[in-house]
Amino acid sequence: MYKIKHNVDGFVNKYKARLVAKGYAQTYGIDYEETYSLVVKMTTIRTIIAMEVAKGWSLHQMDVKNVFIHGDLQEEVYMEQPPSYVDQTHPNLVCRLKKALYDLKQTPRAWSDKIGQYLVISGFQTSNANFSLYVKKIDHGIVIIIIYVDDLIITRDNDVDIFDLNKLLKQKFEMKDLGELRYFFSIEVI
């Protein structure tokens, strides 16, 4: 799959190529059992932004690179060799996937499980009201993370804690630090 990614101003940021599976050919109950994706509720986003303004906290944004390939598959999944990479000596062989690929039905769930487990091990708790909201109580306050698929918004009253959290997340996942939040989910933050 080929895609052109644009900046907020509409100019081309980069050209992307991605190997995707034929998820449309999967059958519920045979190829997958459950689907789920970390999609934060709009009311949660507005609440966090309002809290940030009221308390004078900063909002920090991070983007997980190649988000869905971080997920571990629980099922056995096979796919045909990609058309431009067919092994000419064994053209009928198939690939067994160990990691999730884009367009598999279970890929978002596999990513959600992976990051959720990592955050819980790191001391965060999931909100009962929104499973995309993670909170960690620390000695002098709290750290909050909200997740929308591959974007993480982090807030805290102390930027040192955000820096430490960035380091913690980068140990496990390849991430791009986007700095202070400017644009998220069609909301421009000024």
Annotated domain spans of the chain: 35-72+100-188
Q: Which residues are CB-contacts of 167 (< 8 A; sequence separation ≥ 6)?
A: none
Helix (H, G, I), strand (E, B) or coil at 149: coil
The overall average pLDDT reported for the chain is 81
How high is the pLDDT of residue 125?
93
Backbone angles phi, psi at 152, to 5 degrees: -115, 130
pLDDT tens digits, 150-171: 888 888 876 666 777 888 888 8
How high is the pLDDT of residue 98?
81
pLDDT tens digits, 86-131: 889 999 998 888 887 777 767 778 888 888 899 999 899 998 888 8
| Cβ neighbours of 82 (radius 10 Å) | 11
pLDDT over 70 at 50, yes or no: yes
Give the sign of the dihedral formed by CA 149, CA 61, CA 114, CA 133.
negative
What percent of the chain lies above the pLDDT cut of 70? 86
Higher pLDDT, residue 21 or 182: 182
How high is the pLDDT of residue 29?
65
Mean pLDDT along residues 27-38: 64
pLDDT over 80 at 34, yes or no: no
How high is the pLDDT of residue 36?
60
Q: Is 103 left (phi over 0), alpha (psi -120 to 50) or beta?
A: left
Residues counted in the chain: 190
Fold classification of 35-72+100-188 (topology level): Alpha-Beta Plaits (3.30.70)
Helix (H, G, I), strand (E, B) or coil at 70: helix
How high is the pLDDT of residue 27?
65
pLDDT over 90 at 64, yes or no: no
pLDDT over 90 at 58, yes or no: no
